[in-house]
Each structure stands twice: as C-alpha cells, then as structure tokens.
Structure 1
Amino acid sequence: MTALDIAHVTVDCTHAADLADFYAALLDRPVDEGSSPYFATVGRSEGARPVLMFIQVHDPTPGKNRVHLDLHTPDVPAGVARAIALGAKHVADFDEYGAVWTTLADPEGNLFDIGHSA
C-alpha cells in the first residue's frame, strides 16, 4: 500500500493574495513568489508540508467551513491578540474534551482555532 501525505491545505477565497498575506503574517512565514488575486501559496518556498494554498472562487461555500486550521502556541492570549490585530475576528472560547482553544474567523470569514501547544 502506498502511504499518502498531505501536500496542501487549500482555502477557497475571494482574494487569494490578501488571504495569503493574512496567514503568512499570522504564521510568520513569507508568501511565495507569484501570488496574485487568483492564486497564492504560503510555505512552498520553505519546503513546508503542508503548503497553504489559496484559490479564488466565485461562489464560496456559505455557512461554517467543515475543515479548519488548528494552530497551537504556548501563549494563547498573545496568539489570539496577534490574529485579531492582523484582521481576524473573535468567535468564541472553548474548554471541552480536555482542551482549551479560541475560535476566530479570518478576514474572509473562514474559521480557525488557536489553542495550547502540548
């Protein structure tokens, strides 16, 4: 059997370069060369796996996204404050299943979480 690896996490969006800029700043990584309003990546130039890929679509999915990023940090309040300063919106705080995390929405409304690193 052939093993599979996650190569990309793809985000459908309205403006690929702008959303790539947000996540690049949040993750302290560069946006890869060649970004445009239609297509952009973060992490490819660094050899990161998975690469974050942003693709412009004309009909984004309405409602809650079913797949989202879970970001971890030893200082959740600082991570949340940084995300908000970059344009994220606070959605809710959770303490469930033995974990504590904050859910935020990126500038296009896609949900992501920031929680404690193990």
Structure 2
Amino acid sequence: MHLAAITVDCANPAHLSTFWQALLTGDLSTPDEEGVITLTLPGGPQLDFAPVPEAKSTKNRLHLDLRTTDYSRDAERAILLGATPADDIYPGDGWRVLRDPEGNEFCLLRPDPDSPPAS
C-alpha cells in the first residue's frame, strides 16, 4: 500500500488547483469525467481537486505542512497568490497557519535548522 493522492474537496477545482500550482509548482491535468483536476507535484504525491456542492464549514481535520526555505518570503508569496492568514488557529513560533482561497488551512513551517541556508 502507498499514498496515491491527497484529495481536496472544493467548489471550484480550476481556481483552487491553479492557486496550489502557483504555490508548489507541478503539472495540472485537464478535468476528468467527474471534474477532478490533478496537480502532480515534483517528487511528491499528487493533489486531486474534486468538485463538491457543499461549502467548507469547519476547521480541517487534515492539512498540509509546507517546509519553507525562506519563511518570510514564502508567507508573503502565499498571501499574494490568494492565501489569507489564519492567526486564529494554532499560533506558534515555528509555523504560520494560512487558508487557501477556499478556506482550507495549511501551515508554513520555518526552515529546518539542520538544513543549509537558502541562497
């Protein structure tokens, strides 16, 4: 058994998949017969964006943690792409919680202290 994909239920797969592609890079598929769009991440799992009729209503039970190489730059970039701060959820020194354009929470983690600095 292995992880094949992480699926994000959403109202607008085209819009949301474009946000995530701009943030993480990768290749987007055309929608399949059910309207699912796949973002294939370089070296990682794929993200599937599946259309659903209901809106997000509560905090996610599962979210993505994204390790940054430049914490301030990456947080600013995510916000410029359409993320919004979610400072009401789990404030911490080692991460920042943001919401994607449909309200799904994700965390930006500070660089790994054991990694070489970004150039």
TM-score (structure 2 length as normaliser): 0.81
SS of the residue corresponding to residue 16 of structure 2 reads: helix
SS of the residue corresponding to residue 20 of structure 2 reads: helix
For structure 1, the 5+ residue unaligned runs are: none
Aligned counterpart, 1:10: 7
Deviation at 1:61, TM superposition (A): 4.0
Cα RMSD, aligned residues only: 1.9
Aligned counterpart, 1:94: 92
CA distance, structure 2, for counterparts of residue 35 and residue 94 of structure 1: 37
CA distance, structure 2, for counterparts of residue 86 and residue 61 of structure 1: 20
Deviation at 1:60, TM superposition (A): 3.5
State whether residues 7 and 49 of structure 1, in contact with CA within 8 Å, keep that contact through their aligned partners in structure 2.
Answer: no
Letter of the 1:52 partner, please give it: L
2:41 corresponds to 1:35:
no
> Which stretches of structure 1, 4 residues or longer, exceed 4 Å deviation after superposition?
none
For structure 2, the 5+ residue unaligned runs are: 113-119
| Aligned 1:27-66 pairs, distance under 5 A | 27-32=24-29, 34-35=30-31, 38-43=35-40, 48-66=43-61
* Aligned pairs, number: 108
Identity of aligned residues (%): 37
| Aligned 1:77-92 pairs, distance under 5 A | 77-92=72-87
TM-score (structure 1 length as normaliser): 0.82
Aligned counterpart, 1:23: 20
